Amino acid sequence: MTGSAWLLLSDASPALRCRVLAELLDVPEDDPELADLLIRRVDDPEALALLHAEPDGLQELGHLLCRLGRLGFDRHHPRVAELVERLFAYQRDDGSFPLAEFRTDDRYTMIPLQVSLPLRGAGSVGAAIDPRAERAYDWLVAQRVEDGSWPTGLVAGQPGSVPGYRRLPGSPGCRANTEAALSALVLHPDRARSEPARRAADLLLRRETRDEWALGTEIARLHGRERAAGFISLHSRFDLAFVLDLVSRTGVSTQDARVADLVGFLDGLRGPAGLWEHPAHPDLSRWLTLDLLAGLRRLEAGDWAGEGPRLRFRPDDGPVKHH
């Protein structure tokens, strides 16, 4: 892994190189090269464009914070702090955010994504332990259904339907909402390894779809190569790089057979130099490699394994168990 990490340091992005040094090579905070890159990161064209962006509405605001967090910016930066305050200005007394701020079906009175999306933005820039974020987390966890998944939402007090592409094998829950909730939980220093997070990871790992073409979808959105369009449909693709990133943050290990199989599949996609090529955007290949190497490294320190079944995903007729 270390050899591949050194190859990433040839990338032009100071933000990527900062993360490689800190997350893969464990250089100390006072390392001269890291200090130099931290200064240069602020003037990087991608960072400057994001720092000067004006988001239109709550969903774009949350996504912008996710993008800034990816480049290493946190709420200690004045512009990021301003954006965080703007996000929390939308928050309601019960800890949630208004569903009306999102483009969705008017029949719904609650969709967990109304909190998952802005909460992920706050967590991405280090605001997960803000008391306002804690209230949002409490609201989000309270929306779980009996098996620990999150529903599509509520229509006239009843759970909304779950279309085929969003089915969570072996569960009545919605994969899109469960995945989004987990993406917020794993950014909290304590909730990342909590029972709700680990249960969500266990449910996601049941699905054995191997969509190689979808690898790196989330990375493409975070770097502006693809639009983060839609609401529930944001999580329509089953991006295994994103799944690995999420479940590895819960402390799962390769002692889980499903995780070991996922690692084996991803290893089979590595190029001869030990790097992964992004299937749609080759210029993001080093970012994809960074994410996968960081996820694999976290698995090495994992301390739990799920016991969930392996279920084949077929959106046309629902979940079918392998025999």
What tens-digit pLDDT sequence spans the chain (323 residues)?
A: 566 888 999 999 999 999 999 999 999 989 999 999 999 999 999 999 999 999 999 999 999 999 999 999 999 999 999 999 999 999 999 999 999 999 767 789 999 999 999 999 999 999 999 999 999 999 999 999 999 999 999 998 888 889 888 889 889 999 999 999 999 999 999 999 999 999 999 999 998 888 899 999 999 999 999 999 889 888 889 999 999 999 999 999 999 999 999 999 999 999 988 999 999 999 999 999 999 999 999 999 999 999 777 776 666 544 333 22
Chain-centroid distance of CA 9 in Å reads: 24
Q: Which CATH architecture has domain 44-321?
A: Alpha/alpha barrel (1.50)
Q: What is the DSSP letter of 309?
A: P
The domain segmentation of the chain, as residue ranges, is 1-43, 44-321
What does the alpha-carbon distance between residue 231 and residue 166 come to, in Å, rounded to a whole number? Answer: 13
Is the CB of residue 164 less than 8 Å from the CB of residue 315? yes
Amino acid letter at 170? G
- Residue 318 pLDDT: 44
Is the CB of residue 57 less than 8 Å from the CB of residue 89? no
Strands 108-110 and 154-155, sheet pairing: antiparallel
What does the alpha-carbon distance between residue 24 and residue 46 come to, in Å, rounded to a whole number? Answer: 22
DSSP string, 207-256: B----GGGTTHHHHHHTTSS----SGGGG-S--HHHHHHHHHTTTB-TTS
CA distances from 145 to 12, 127, 149, 158, 231 (A): 45, 27, 6, 12, 21
| Encoded tokens for 47 | 């960072």
- With residue 58 as reference, give the H or E element that holds it: helix 58-70
What does the alpha-carbon distance between residue 148 and residue 205 come to, in Å, rounded to a whole number? Answer: 14
- Residue 165 pLDDT: 83
Q: How many residues does the chain have?
A: 323
Is the CB of residue 144 less than 8 Å from the CB of residue 116? no
What does the alpha-carbon distance between residue 189 and residue 72 come to, in Å, rounded to a whole number? Answer: 17
- Residue 322 pLDDT: 28
- With residue 180 as reference, give the H or E element that holds it: helix 175-185
Q: Which residues contact 128 (CB under 8 A, 6 or more apart)?
A: 119, 122, 137, 187, 188, 189, 191
Is the CB of residue 239 less than 8 Å from the CB of residue 216? yes
Specify the residue for token string 């480049």.
71
Is the CB of residue 164 less than 8 Å from the CB of residue 316? yes
- Residue 3 pLDDT: 66
